[in-house]
Amino acid sequence: MTSSFDESAYRILVLDDNHSLLRLVSTALQKAGFQVSTSTSGEEGLEHIHRQGLPHLALVDIEMPYGMNGFQFCESVLEFSDLPIIMLTAINEDETIIQTIDQFAEDYITKPFNPGELVARVRRVLRRIGDFAYTLTAETTVDENLSVNFPAQQVRVNGETISLTPTETKLLYILMRNAGQTVTTDFILRRLWPLETVYEDRLRVYIHRLRSKIERQPGSPRYITSQRGVGYSFARN
């Protein structure tokens, strides 16, 4: 295990209606050094995100019989973010696994499971995704002129609150998660529209709209820059 990976820097949200399993998972992750929060329903998980901000990763059970199930939670949170998700469930059907990975999840763990394997899979996903460049809170501060509230789908620009569409919010999340790096057009298209065949022209429209909302001079952008023929990057302070 490389020493460069700092588990204490990562916040993980665990959603499951089984209290015993929540204790098992949270204990394993906390012993590994992660910061862990738990919720027993999709509604509670979304409320936690609105209150505390997005975590770096979520572990989500599919079958939660009361209220919002795991798929519905994923659909809601992925409307405004590209939150990495690992499904943790007793369902071991090929069709469900394929659907889940296609649409929602970075990984799929079936119950019962080995806690050590779970921790290893969490580390693997976080290493692949990378750290979020900014401190994730209910309102994420970029600098003195710009802050972002991902759950509320709003930005604060020079003190003015401006609403974003779900797609604009998710696009901004993807760029900010990779701040300082050029994110390829193909990658952004796959993350924004995983089940559709779309082309760069559609992305350009959303880049233009997002710049018009967060940039003081959209024609000479400070935050979102483009590398012709490659992709886009978000400036890291």
- Residues forming a β-bridge with 157: 146, 160
- What is the residue-wise DSSP string for 71-136? HHHHHHHHHH----EEEEES---HHHHHHHHHHT-SEEEESS--HHHHHHHHHHHHHHH---SS--
Q: What is the pLDDT of residue 206?
A: 97
The residue among 113, 84, 100, 95 whose CA lies nearest residue 18 is 113
Determine, yes or no, domain membership for 196: yes
Q: Phi, psi at residue 11, to the nearest 5°?
A: -105, 130
Determine, yes or no, domain membership for 107: yes
Determine, yes or no, domain membership for 84: yes
The residue among 218, 188, 214 whose CA lies nearest residue 200 is 188
Tokens standing for residue 13 = 């949200």
CATH number where 28 lies = 3.40.50.2300
118 and 81 co-located in one domain: yes
Determine, yes or no, domain membership for 122: yes
State how far Cα 123 lies from the chain centre: 15
Domain end position, chosen among 106, 129, 152? 129
Please give the C-alpha separations between residue 142 and each of 24, 39, 102, 119, 178, in angstroms, as whole numbers.
Answer: 36, 28, 31, 30, 13
Determine, yes or no, domain membership for 2: no
165 and 229 co-located in one domain: yes
18 and 108 co-located in one domain: yes
Q: What is the pTM of this model?
A: 0.89
Range of the domain at 183: 140-234
112 and 148 co-located in one domain: no
109 and 38 co-located in one domain: yes
Determine, yes or no, domain membership for 135: no
CATH number where 199 lies = 1.10.10.10
HSE, CB side, 13 Å, CA atoms: give it for residue 214.
32
- Residue type at 1 in one-letter notation: M
Domain end position, chosen among 68, 99, 129? 129
Domain end position, chosen among 129, 154, 183? 129
Number of domains into which the chain is organized? 2
Coil/strand/helix, residue 183: strand
The residue among 20, 45, 52, 46 whose CA lies nearest residue 140 is 52
* pLDDT tens across the length of the chain (237 residues): 344 789 999 999 999 999 999 999 999 999 999 999 999 999 999 999 999 999 999 999 988 878 898 999 999 999 999 999 999 988 888 888 888 888 889 999 998 999 999 999 999 999 998 888 888 899 999 999 999 999 999 999 999 999 999 999 999 999 999 999 999 999 999 999 987 888 899 999 999 999 999 999 999 999 999 998 899 999 987
54 and 111 co-located in one domain: yes
